[in-house]
Amino acid sequence: MKSEEVIRLASDNGYETKEAIALKREASGREYWRISNTNSSYVLCYQDPLEGSHDTFINISKSLESHRINASRVLFHNPEIGITIQTDIGDADLLSVMNEENKKSLIQQSLELLCKFQSIDIPNLSKFSKKELEDQSSLFIEVFCSQFLEIKSTDALKELVKQTVENIMLQPWANCHFDYERRNLISDLTENKIHMIDYQDTRIGPIGIDIAGILLDHYYPLNKKDINGHLDFYKSISVYKDKELDFFEILRWGGIQRNLRILGVLSRLSIEKNLDFRLKDIPMIFNNLIAIMPKDSPGYSFLTNTVKNKLNERIHNL
């Protein structure tokens, strides 16, 4: 949308707006805008009603508020035109504000928030099925490899998807934000708190997906020493602290599933909708996928040679 359209939408729905500034656009197609007048500011989220609704987001928002989870709040909803008006918690996302000096503190705060989020009850929350997790992972084969890179798939990649899903099915399951990464975590610098946003895709799912979201970064190379340190902290504060669990393996397979899925999703956005704003992130996501995989994984050599070379060529020609 254009800023003029956003100003009109907000004003027509009782939120007088003088200025509208685009915040971000999601792979899901949702658009976020900061709307403001002389006295106040809010965040408007738009999603085409033909492509989805805000109902789940509103239900989750109510549960988060009742359990005092730091998160954006829905103040207004118009389902016919596909907008919500939410509290404005600022734009100091962790991707922007994190540095070497504050990284440990911000990640620990994010893990504390994640533990609290994982442990609350959210009514009517659906659970991922095994088939859904398989289909998500298979986007890597069907879209990223076959369409984006134009590489013929191998049976080894199908085995990788199978092995990945089998492993995450065995993990503990809890509330899963499904995109618990730095872009969706906002730092309140005045109160020293982390707030989560963009939580409408929350389901019951494997805990490794969200742990990988914050620790297996899409924007920096994998650092196993740092990850293991953060995993020790997560274990010490989580409801799983007394269980014999290998948290690195939990992160590993959650991260493989997440990266396979996201590489497929970002490629599909480029192919089907000409939305290329996240293509710059693909090489790092792919490199971290390889880095977290066991070297004896199905398809490892195919990924490190054929796929990596083709990806470098494709990105170079963009």
pLDDT, residue 24, reads 73
Largest Cα separation within the chain, whole Å, is: 60
Helix (H, G, I), strand (E, B) or coil at 20: strand
pTM of the model: 0.93
| Domain match, 135 and 264 both | yes
Contact 190, 179 (CB under 8 A): no
| Domain match, 98 and 236 both | yes
Residue 275 CA to residue 270 CA, distance in Å, equals 5
Domain residues for the domain of 29 are 3-87
| Domain match, 255 and 310 both | yes
Q: For 81-102, how does the pLDDT look when each residue is reduced to its tens digit (9 = 90+)?
A: 999 999 999 989 999 999 999 9
Q: What is the CATH number of the domain that holds 12?
A: 3.30.200.20
DSSP state of 175: E
| Domain match, 156 and 227 both | yes
Domain boundary among 55, 87, 119: 87
Q: For 230-282, how does the pLDDT look when each residue is reduced to its tens digit (9 = 90+)?
A: 999 999 999 999 999 999 999 999 999 999 999 999 999 999 988 888 899 99
| Domain match, 201 and 226 both | yes
| Domain match, 80 and 104 both | no
Domain boundary among 58, 87, 116: 87
Beta strand 31-36 with 41-46: parallel, antiparallel or unpaired? antiparallel
| Domain match, 38 and 69 both | yes
Contact 140, 153 (CB under 8 A): no
Domain boundary among 52, 87, 122: 87
Find, among 205, 219, 213, 218, the residue nearest to 180 by Cα: 213
Instruction: Mention every residue, 6+ apart, whose C-beta is less than 8 A from residue 80.
Output: 49
| Domain match, 173 and 302 both | yes
Contact 262, 281 (CB under 8 A): no
Q: How many structural domains comprise the chain? A: 2
